[in-house]
Structure 1
Amino acid sequence: MISNKPLVSVIMATYNEKPNIIKSSIQSILDQSYSNFELLIFDDSTNVETKSAIDDMSKDSRVCVYRESTRVGFVESLNKGLKKAQGDFIARMDGDDFALRERLEKEVSFLLTHKNIMVVGGQMDIMDEHDNIVSHRNYPERGIKLWLFSCYRNPLAHPTVMMRSKIVDRGYLYNEKLKMSEDLDFWLRLMNDGYKIANLPDTVLRFRVQSDFINKRVNEKQRMYMSKVRKMNFRTKHPVHGVLSVVAGWIFTHISAESIKTMYKKENKNV
């Protein structure tokens, strides 16, 4: 049990999620065992039912909903959230996922006891459109295994992360020029600048995938953005990581879509 409970700002960017799904996602935050949080929802939805569902959930005093007259965009919404966050820690959450009840408590506890870690993520279950858990995804916790993993994969599951707000105070934001892989870019920049990241061994989230999930993952645009981000973050002061990362990005853009589909199917069984 955490005696001194710092404020956590949970950032959620939403766009036309199904009403029942967005309600479930928000409720999973409201039901957290760790209660000292604010939930900042940046809603870009055009769907009236989605807006109404979010408004219903915003009756809880810990929920703040922000809307603009024109669509803002996902990455831009995340940055608005980082700037408005009042907490000592900032957590990410997507509008179609489900946070396990002790997620925030476990992440806060970890950051309080590991002062050298700037961002922590966790393991996650994979669930389908009908809330059935169909697979599980593992991420290395720390050290050389996570370092090597980051050379060819995203080292953190974006909707599981919690970061220290001092990162934002030091000028770190998502790159709004990127429409994909903005999270990978964020982590690589932090790592290049000497900041430590980690993953909890615990499962903290249920990540929802749609029927076209794998096709989206292997589309050419997605792969090109990932390769671009790895090239952008090459640093001569970290040549080994940089070379491995760029080579991995090149390979990922040049192997067949079917090969990548096979890899994802092995990682996400039954999806």
Structure 2
Amino acid sequence: MAPYRRYLDTQQRKIYEKWENRQTHNQPINKKIDKQPLISIIVPTYNTPVKYLRDMIKSVEGQSYDNWELIIVDDASPNDDVKHEIRKIAKNNTKIKPFFLKTNRHIAGATNYGINKANGEYIGLLDHDDMLHKDALLLVVNKINELPGVKFIYTDEVKLDEKGRQYQPFFKPDWNIDFLRSINYITHFAIIQRDSLIELGGEDGVYNGTQDWELFLRATRTLKSSQIAHIPKILYYWRVHNNSTAGNLDAKPYVIGAQKKALTDDIKKRHMEAEVVRDSLYGAQWCMRYSSPSQQDVTVNNILFSRDDSVGNVLSRETSDVIIFSNSSVDYSGDYSLLGDIFREDIGAVIPRIYDESQVVGNLKSILDEKIVKFIQELSRRSFTKHIYLTSKYNLKDVCSSVLFIERKKLSLIDESTKITSRSLTKALCDKDLRTLYNPYMTTKEEK
């Protein structure tokens, strides 16, 4: 399969390059930035290929925003060439501050060492073989000025192959809790207010291999959604090579256990009941199975969408615990243990698996820019950004769907005049801060 995958990646890269060339790259900031905080970029290194090390440092030195420091923490690399290169480069730039650990502390320990040595008001996490867009810090600082209370910022990203060519872009949504429980969609580039990071205790070495994901889960347990910001621009270049997790999760098999522990511990800390299940097909993805009533204790009924019907009418005649709204008569054919999302206090409507891929991607217009959604439609399943939206759980807003699952008591919270259409129902529920959830693990079948 490897040659075929390389061929598909080549095709996806060509599509992306063509799209990227069509974009208009204006100057990102045309106004004076009042607040210009020092940004400390933390980079743990360990036997980093010297070429990649130089590329990483060059991308930081070339930033259009100038108030930064680069903290490089070498985690006792056996390869002396790495240490020599770091010292040589740091001699020529006082903003690069190298530290050399005598014993290996692993990535979380090395990162925390760097955090403790940092002077910046904000901390940026950068991998030793990756690169930043030249305006990455400038756009981060602009966001800090736009949102004075922001404490956690992340950006979009794209992969780099070993020849430095861009492919596999990942266009992310704004803060999306169910997406983060499915996969570490935040990854890079992440910037956290230093005081908040210190208060959190930095990264936890217990979760080495998925320390960033665990940190993001822990941070978002305490932060308000208004303190989490997303910059919808590709500002991070994630290098793919033989030993990188970006290229092959099996390169670091211990990561799987760390991911499961991080997700399990997060659910417990949020005082929620759920089973953490690894996706049987896509090993880097996870499915939270939230507790739900047994099949014997829950009643389910199907009602057809109709603009002539209203929520008030449905409530007056329907007593089932769960109502399936649909275009045609359907029956729930899946595991009742998967219905737990419907009963969550923060979820309004649940959309089961949609087999029309264009409709799944089309619904992303509620959380992504319409131009981005149009581009994703052009990509194949091999493209990560399309694959992940087709196969994982995440939150949406008001959407069009052929099927919706809604707990009856949630309907009583919205206006009784609301029409029985998917758009009207999901909008009314979202207006009550009840998110829509896409759950591809749930399936329905048409009744004959």
TM, length-normalised to structure 2? 0.53
Deviation at 1:109, TM superposition (A): 1.4
Amino acid at match of 1:111: I
* Residue in 2 that maps onto 1:225: 258
Larger radius of gyration: 2
* Residue in 1 that maps onto 2:108: 75
Amino acid at match of 1:55: R
Deviation at 1:258, TM superposition (A): 7.8
Deviation at 1:207, TM superposition (A): 0.6
| Cα displacement string for residues 33-54 of structure 1 (whole angstroms, at most 9, x for unaligned residues) | 1111111000122212222221
Counterpart contact for 2:33–2:145, Cα < 8 Å: no
* Residue in 2 that maps onto 1:118: 151
How well do the aligned residues superpose, as a CA RMSD in angstroms?
Answer: 2.5
Match of 2:172 among 109, 122, 139: 139
| Cα displacement string for residues 84-120 of structure 1 (whole angstroms, at most 9, x for unaligned residues) | 2111111111111111100011112112322343211
Deviation at 1:152, TM superposition (A): 0.5
Counterpart contact for 1:137–1:267, Cα < 8 Å: yes
2:141, 2:127 → 1: CA distance?
19
- Does 2:201 align with 1:172? yes
* Residue in 2 that maps onto 1:87: 120
- Does 2:133 align with 1:100? yes
Higher relative contact order, chain-length normalized (CA < 8 Å, sep 6+): 1
2:200, 2:284 → 1: CA distance?
39
2:234, 2:278 → 1: CA distance?
30
* Residue in 2 that maps onto 1:193: 222
Percent of aligned positions that are identical: 21
Counterpart contact for 1:140–1:149, Cα < 8 Å: no
Deviation at 1:268, TM superposition (A): 7.2
Amino acid at match of 1:65: P
- Does 2:182 align with 1:152? yes
Counterpart contact for 1:180–1:225, Cα < 8 Å: yes
* Residue in 1 that maps onto 2:278: 251
Gaps of 5+ in 1: none
* Residue in 1 that maps onto 2:369: none
Counterpart contact for 2:36–2:67, Cα < 8 Å: yes
Amino acid at match of 2:87: D
2:113, 2:381 → 1: CA distance?
32
Note closer, same or farther for the CA distance 1:132–1:234 as it changes in structure 2 (3 Å cut): same
Counterpart contact for 1:75–1:175, Cα < 8 Å: yes
TM, length-normalised to structure 1? 0.85
1:51, 1:79 → 2: CA distance?
19
Note closer, same or farther for the CA distance 1:113–1:78 as it changes in structure 2 (3 Å cut): same
Gaps of 5+ in 2: 1-31, 286-379, 387-448
* Residue in 2 that maps onto 1:32: 63
Counterpart contact for 1:129–1:211, Cα < 8 Å: no
| Cα displacement string for residues 38-79 of structure 1 (whole angstroms, at most 9, x for unaligned residues) | 110001222122222212221201011000222222110111
Q: Which runs of 4 or more aligned residues in structure 1 lie more than 6 Å from their structure 2 counterparts after TM superposition?
A: 257-260
Note closer, same or farther for the CA distance 1:150–1:51 as it changes in structure 2 (3 Å cut): same
2:57, 2:80 → 1: CA distance?
17
Deviation at 1:124, TM superposition (A): 0.8
State the SS of the aligned residue for 2:206: coil
Deviation at 1:81, TM superposition (A): 1.4
1:139, 1:48 → 2: CA distance?
38
Amino acid at match of 2:54: K
State the SS of the aligned residue for 2:230: strand
1:166, 1:232 → 2: CA distance?
23
1:264, 1:60 → 2: CA distance?
44
The number of residue pairs the alignment matches comes to 255
